[in-house]
Structure 1
Amino acid sequence: MSWRTRSAALLLGCAALAPQAAMADIFLSGDYALTRGEEPGEYEFTAAVPETVASSSPLVWPDGCRQTGMTRHSAGGRAQFGFTLRCNRQFRPSDTIRTPWKVDGGRFVSNVLGVQVDRALSPESGAIVVPVGETAAGPRSLGALAAEFLDQGLWHILMGWDHLAFVLCLALLARGRQLVTLVSCFTLGHSISLGLAFFDVIRAPVPPVEAAIALSIVFMAREALVLARGGQVFSFPRQLTVISLFGLLHGLGFATALGELGVREGEKLASLAFFNLGVEIGQLLFVSAVLASLALLRTVSLAAPARTAALYGVGAVGSFWMFERVAGFVTA
């Protein structure tokens, strides 16, 4: 290994050991609920968010409402907040609660106004604004669903480090038409399993799936390294089969995020289609960025050492995630 490759691998290794690397698939979701209290004008607002973002910053309540109590406890890596409110008037349709926690999406449920509300939430300026005055979760237009779930799919892939690590291995494994075909088969695989899991046709426990996803990254990094060294001949049918199967596995990971967004029954098919499309757009943007970077590195004769260093780094990070996740569900 040349000094340039060793230097790049060392930098990637340091990045892999940074604290943020412990969070592989960092789709941060929040769950919010509003219920009536025991006294007239009293309400209970609850929120569950990841511990990593659970600051003690105050919430912004609707005009005419004040906080009279608060509890907090932790369970399963999530902070559970409970707030007691007293309001001197009925909620209006425009009333909201602004939360301080930086999450990627969430779900809000309520029945305090006589109609069951169950809807997905997207962040506004980095925070979730909960529409507590919404009297009914009426059907949304196709355009509204497209905007929301394209955005959710796009950001889930771009912020899902383990899925991006796998796609990076594909971009460093093949070129041209073969790369396009491999990425398409990966997309097809995760689209199938995402749909089956989302519609409850199949169910898989999340911790083992996440550990297996990390293992798939290690496997693909090794495959690309062995091929780069000439240790084996590139077998396109074999890679096609392996990557399609790994796509099925990654789709189960995507299903976890989509299932946490409060999709109503009549919106499932459209939300699934637009979420998948958002994921695919994100993948294509990422692959394009990787290929552009490699083309730039070729102009200074650094493409080969950068490819090797990146694969070593991705393999190391994937191994770390795998052991971390296995340890997590073994000790849970």
Structure 2
Amino acid sequence: MTVLMRSLCLLLALFAQIGQADEIRPAYLQLTERQPGLYEVLFKVPARGESERLDLRVAFDDSVRSGDVATGFVGGAHLQRWTIQRDGGLQGAEVRLEGPAALRTESLLRVQYLDGSSLIHRLTPDAPRYVIEGHPGLAQVIHTYFVLGVEHILIGVDHLLFVLVLLLIVDGLRKLLWTITAFTVAHSITLSLAALDLVRVPVPPVEACIALSIVFVAVEIVHAQRGVPSLTARRPWVVAFTFGLLHGLGFAAALGAIGLPQADVPAALLFFNVGVEAGQLIFVSAVLACGWLLKHCLSAVPAGWRVWPAYAIGSLAMYWVIERTAGFWA
């Protein structure tokens, strides 16, 4: 097996591991202000089935009074709900993650205020504590949603694999630019429409179709390498735009789980989208750089080498199609 094949196999094995690892799914902590000084807490922790959850807990400092906790399992996650009180509001209060899972799991914290504004912050293994600030300004919203956009695309394995198979089938810089631009425009359209609640599509079918889009392009790569006429090889921007509409709905589902601050919806939506594009460009640049290095380090590249990663990526994506479709009735 050549160095190229080994590198591709290692990369795909990593993608598969990431795609199946429940432990890297972030937790979600939402504090919703119901009246001055009174907040409803929702803590969503990744779980396997309805019995095994990550050992992850949330705690506040002594200035915060907590009520009784109600628990339950919903959709592969363990939910906890309770209320907290603090005179004067939560500004200056400390919230922290505790438990063994806090060493490897991050949580997205969202504080929703009565006036419609919201604060978003990431609690990470390196920084599991956070002193809640006052109402966020526009700069904080822009920074937070830009970072969330970058992170979402870079941990979205299915989105990255779709971009990767497009890179494998497209020859020529000009055609590549048209293809990436078409994909960007398409998913920006549906991301915006869905995030603004102008379009509503169930998430599970969208996720299954996203996986199916990877299978389609992988099959097109095999056809192109065998000399069979391929629409994607001839007009990749058409396929990129068409499936980009689906991927935009997937991005919107992730953004919907986070929510948009009512006072700064345009800025949050714009910079989440900009973050997605920035992450996508980082990935494309990294793949092109790796390709250039391999081309100049290897004495010869086997003819038709693109078929092998196409088979591997297509097989992994087909597994996702079956898994996600079976989840409709789970």
Report the equivalent of 1:79.
Answer: 78
Unmatched 5+ stretches in structure 2: none
Question: CA-to-partner distance for each residue in 1:112-156, whole Å, 9 max, x for gaps?
Answer: xxx66644333355566576675xx45x22x32331122111111
Q: Tell me, what secondary structure is at the counterpart of 1:122? A: strand
Q: Which has the higher contact order (CA 8 A, sep 6+)?
A: 1
Q: Is the 8 A contact 1:16 1:317 kept in 2?
A: no
Distance 1:242-1:23 versus aligned 2 partners, 3 A rule: farther
2:108 to 105, 108, 124: 105
| Equivalences for residues 54-65 of structure 1 within 5 A | 54-65=53-64
Unmatched 5+ stretches in structure 1: none
Report the equivalent of 2:120.
Answer: 120
| Equivalences for residues 272-311 of structure 1 within 5 A | 272-299=269-296, 300=298, 301-302=300-301, 307-311=306-310
Stretch of structure 1 that moved more, 97-106 or 242-251? 97-106
Q: Tell me, what secondary structure is at the counterpart of 1:30? A: strand
Report the aligned-residue RMSD. Answer: 3.6
Q: Tell me, what secondary structure is at the counterpart of 1:260? A: helix
Which amino acid in the other structure matches residue 202 of structure 2?
P
Distance 1:28-1:236 versus aligned 2 partners, 3 A rule: same
Q: Is the 8 A contact 2:32 2:39 kept in 1?
A: yes
Superposed displacement of residue 259, structure 1: 1.8
TM-score by length of 1: 0.80
Q: Is the 8 A contact 1:9 1:312 kept in 2?
A: no
TM-score by length of 2: 0.80
2:209 to 207, 212, 228: 212
Superposed displacement of residue 194, structure 1: 0.6
Question: CA-to-partner distance for each residue in 1:149-175, whole Å, 9 max, x for gaps?
Answer: 221111110000000000000111113
Which amino acid in the other structure matches residue 157 of structure 1?
I
1:94 to 92, 102, 118: 92
| Equivalences for residues 47-196 of structure 1 within 5 A | 47-51=43-47, 54-65=53-64, 70-83=69-82, 91=89, 93-100=91-98, 102-103=105-106, 105-109=108-112, 118-125=118-125, 134=134, 137=135, 140-141=137-138, 143-175=139-171, 176-196=173-193
Distance 1:180-1:123 versus aligned 2 partners, 3 A rule: farther
Mapped partners of 2:112, 2:238: distance in 1? 42
Superposed displacement of residue 204, structure 1: 0.3
Report the equivalent of 1:325.
Answer: 324
Mapped partners of 1:11, 1:49: distance in 2? 32
Question: CA-to-partner distance for each residue in 1:23-77, whole Å, 9 max, x for gaps?
Answer: 69x774514235689xxx9976331233269533443421344767545321111
